[in-house]
Structure 1
């Protein structure tokens, strides 16, 4: 319900309602929903919601679990730029060993 309400709030520029929906959705981020919520956040310019999804995806084990969901397939087709952001966030967290050159 919050996803549909967020879309409507964005369409009619109801910023307060949009923020309320973002807040609700942040509480429902899990392995099954994070890819779909990330796509929704990207499409409707919900930066806080997208950041919450990125925090959820910050570990390799979580990302691997999300990658096998249908929502991840949808995310790769509909919002490839989000995939680039996810990869950049993970790459920024991985320590670089300069001695392996």
Structure 2
């Protein structure tokens, strides 16, 4: 529900409500939601949520699991630049430099 509320808050310029939704969603990042939440963050300019998702992906195993999730297809189609950012992050994880 917080995702839908964030979209509506963005549409109607309700910044305080957007921040509240973003904070709530930052605590809900998990394997099944990370890709979808990253796309949402990118589309609605929620830097804190995007950073929370990127922090969640702290290992190659987590990255592989996120890439296998249903939301990753949506991320590829809706935010290709973010996928590029994830690829760079993945290469850094593989080389051991976060």
Q: Same fold (TM over 0.5)?
A: yes
Q: Which of the pair has more CA radius of gyration?
A: 1
What are structure 2's unaligned runs of at least 5 residues? none
Once the 2 structures are TM-superposed, how far is the Cα of residue 13 of structure 1 from its aligned partner? 1.0
CA shift in 2, pair 1:59/1:49, >3 Å: same
Contact conserved, 2:63 with 2:90, CA < 8 A, in 1? no
What are structure 1's unaligned runs of at least 5 residues? 97-101
Contact conserved, 1:7 with 1:44, CA < 8 A, in 2? yes
The equivalent residue for 1:76 is 76
The equivalent residue for 2:45 is 45
Distance 2:38 2:72 in 1: 9
SS state of the match for residue 18, structure 1? helix
The equivalent residue for 1:17 is 17
CA shift in 2, pair 1:28/1:95, >3 Å: closer
Distance 2:6 2:32 in 1: 19
